[in-house]
Amino acid sequence: MIKLPVYLDNNSTTRTDPRVLEVMLPYFTEKFGNSASRNHSYGWETEEGVDLAREQVASVINASSKEIIFTSGATESNNLAIKGVAAMYRKKGNHIITAATEHKAVIDPCMRLERDGGQVTFLPVDKHGLVSPQQVSDAITDKTILVSIMAANNEIGTIHPLKEIGKICKAKGVLFHTDATQAIGKIPLDVEDMGIDLLSMSAHKMYGPKGVGALFVRRKDPRVRIDAMLDGGGHERGMRSGTLNVTGIVGMGMAAEICRKELAPESERLLKLRNRLHEGLTSKLEDIYLNGHPVQRLPGNLNISFAFVEGEGLMMGIKDVAVSSGSACTSASLEPSYVLKALGLGDELAHSSIRFGIGRFNTEEEIDFVINDVVRAVNHLRNMSPLYEMHRQGIDLKTVQWAAH
Amino acid sequence: MAYSTKVLEHYNNPRNVGSFDKDDPMVGTGIVGAPECGDVMKLQIKVNPLTGLIEDAKFKTFGCGSAIASSSLATEWVKGKSLDDALGIRNTEIVEELALPPVKVHCSVLAEDAIKAAIKNLQEKQANSPQAVNS
């Protein structure tokens, strides 16, 4: 028996691992102290919990625990990294380089800096969603203070060549930030080997709780300094004031620990499930297209456009499967995903996309259920699609004069 | 966002899915929307040459559930109506009937446009071959 709807939206959030919940629970009850309380055992025991979590989170990216700043999540980490660097290094320069396919939590802070007089280069990506190291190198000027390129994309799963980009940044003396929210625990990350100076992460994308994240801030070669956004008690080495979310942090630590230990077998298992899903759909449906890189992508991510069928309409037809779509029929703008558009995908294929995010708790049985359900719904909707009818009649949809509205 | 039961009902049991021969002189075809906007509706009406009333209607829609439901409802509503009465169908009535939220109002606009486009197509056909009309 499988539980419906099948949860295949693990790029959006993940279920908290029971092992994570277990270590968190005592910190809601008997271990409730403020980790900043230095004068009694309530404070000491929570500080111990936070210290362990800091080690665990640092280990998953080969950092030192002193380099981990706990935050409320990746959005805050990204904001702190970008705005914090921009403010601290404004005498050195005002230019930031990032990619067109970054998460809004990177793009929007960059756009705010642009409005405030900074300069931002949004690098275009190739058809697989990749920014090349050469593009980064070419974009760097003597005013560049930061390069921010995500480790793996949240919609299409494309993995960037971090090591090569890191090398270029190092050679040119520019700080390198990466939003690793999607990549943590899914692919190996090593801030030393990859030359990363700042790295954002979130607990709830790696089977930890929501509302907690971290920012890695390099302490040597070079020592990175950032201006804090929250002023107050001077927690987290003055970079992030505010009483620590101890329960969340302890959970994030455990989540990181599990990811580090189980990364290899888990990614192998996820890749197998993804291939099963992809092959199952490809063998039963024509005119479906993979979005993102065919190989250099997160093991659990599959983003597919089902031609002639609209994504939101399709999601309604597969109500027993929880996924997300690049179609933005619900937004006022009617604009489909900017990530898919950045790949050069026609708007109609962007509207036809579904993101399947396979995670730790998915099973083969669930994947098989999803394949059958999606195939049924796509066939049902194609049967009532005027575009499919035209396609069958041999009409090239690109030659049709549409009355756009 | 949760869908209204009426949208779900039309989505799960769409009325009048299909196509008429667009070259039939008694058939009017309206295609509105564009794939890059995420909605295309094709709505066809078939007029009885003796009564001048719409005796049948069909649709095919590429779009979200609300777009499918709006066009399904539109085919139901035009049936049995004269062309003039069909032209009187307003998108606001579709919004009301399907309880569409504000972000889905454009689906109802598209359905109204599809009805108008189908009628216009039929009238243009008839103007070009008046012998087909018996009214």
Q: Is the Cα torsion angle B52, B56, B59, B64 positive or negative in sign?
A: positive
Report CB contact under 8 Å: A384, B61: yes
How many beta-carbon contacts under 8 Å exist across A and B? Answer: 101
- A389–chain B Cβ distance below 8 A for any pair: yes
Closest by Cα among A89, A123, A303 to A198: A89
What's the Rg (C-alpha) of chain A? 22
| Minimal C-alpha gap between A151 and chain B (Å) | 30
Report CB contact under 8 Å: A351, B42: no
**Residue B53 exposed, middle or buried by CB count within 10 Å (0-12, 13-18, 19+):** middle
Active site residue B107: yes
Report CB contact under 8 Å: B67, A310: yes
- Within 8 A of A308 by CB-CB distance, chain B residues are 62
Structure tokens at A127: 């058809």
Contacts for B119-128: CB closer than 8 Å, 24+ residues apart = B119/B28, B119/B30, B119/B45, B119/B83, B119/B86, B119/B87, B120/B28, B120/B30, B121/B28, B121/B29, B121/B30, B122/B26, B122/B27, B122/B28, B122/B45, B122/B47, B122/B83, B123/B28, B123/B83, B125/B25, B125/B28, B126/B25
* Cβ–Cβ < 8 Å for A255, A235: no
- B112–chain A Cβ distance below 8 A for any pair: no
Q: In this structure, what DSSP letter does residue A152 have?
A: B
Q: What is the mean pLDDT of residues B36-62?
A: 95
Q: What is the mean pLDDT of residues B3-24?
A: 94
Active site residue B64: no
Report how far Cα B103 is from the mean position of its chain's Cα atoms: 20
Q: In this structure, what DSSP letter does residue A9 have?
A: B
- A383–chain B Cβ distance below 8 A for any pair: yes
- Within 8 A of A337 by CB-CB distance, chain B residues are none
Bridge partner list, A214: A70, A201
Report how far Cα A165 is from the mean position of its chain's Cα atoms: 18
The phi and psi torsions of B44 (rounded to 5 degrees) equal -125, 140
Catalytic residue among B40, B89, B107, B119: B107
Torsion of the alpha carbons at A300, A304, A310 and A312, rounded to the nearest 10:
10
Q: Catalogue the E-assigned strands of A29-157.
A: 68-71, 95-99, 119-123, 144-148
Residue of B3, B19, B62 lying closest to A310 (CB–CB): B62
pLDDT for the residue numbered A333: 59
Pairing verdict, β B39-47 and B54-62: antiparallel
* Cβ–Cβ < 8 Å for A301, A11: yes
CA gap A201, A219 in Å, rounded: 18
* Cβ–Cβ < 8 Å for B125, B24: no
pLDDT for the residue numbered B25: 94
Structure tokens at A76: 């805050």
pLDDT for the residue numbered B133: 47
CA gap A362, A18 in Å, rounded: 15
Residue of B1, B14, B37 lying closest to A404 (CB–CB): B37
In sequence order, which residues have a C-beta less than 8 Å from that of residue A228 and are 6 or more positions away?
A: A80, A84, A238, A239, A240, A241
In sequence order, which residues have a C-beta less than 8 Å from that of residue B8 and are 6 or more positions away?
A: A316, B65, B69
The phi and psi torsions of A304 (rounded to 5 degrees) equal -130, 135
| Candidates B64, B68, B72, partner chain A, best to mutate (most A CBs within 10 A) | B64
Structure tokens at A15: 């279920």
Model's pTM, two decimal places?
A: 0.93
CA gap A156, B103 in Å, rounded: 26
Report CB contact under 8 Å: A385, B39: no
| Candidates A335, A345, A351, A379, partner chain B, best to mutate (most B CBs within 10 A) | A351
Q: What ipTM did this prediction achieve?
A: 0.91
Please identify every residue of A annotated as catalytic: 329
pLDDT for the residue numbered B134: 47
CA gap A199, A333 in Å, rounded: 32
CA gap A159, A130 in Å, rounded: 8
pLDDT for the residue numbered B135: 44
pLDDT for the residue numbered A335: 75
- A5–chain B Cβ distance below 8 A for any pair: no
pLDDT for the residue numbered A16: 98
* Cβ–Cβ < 8 Å for B123, B38: no
**Residue A330 exposed, middle or buried by CB count within 10 Å (0-12, 13-18, 19+):** middle
pLDDT by 10-residue block (mean), chain A, 405 residues: 94 97 98 94 96 98 98 98 98 97 97 97 98 98 98 97 98 98 97 98 98 98 96 94 97 98 97 98 97 97 96 93 78 75 89 96 98 97 96 87 67
- A25–chain B Cβ distance below 8 A for any pair: no
| Minimal C-alpha gap between B101 and chain A (Å) | 10
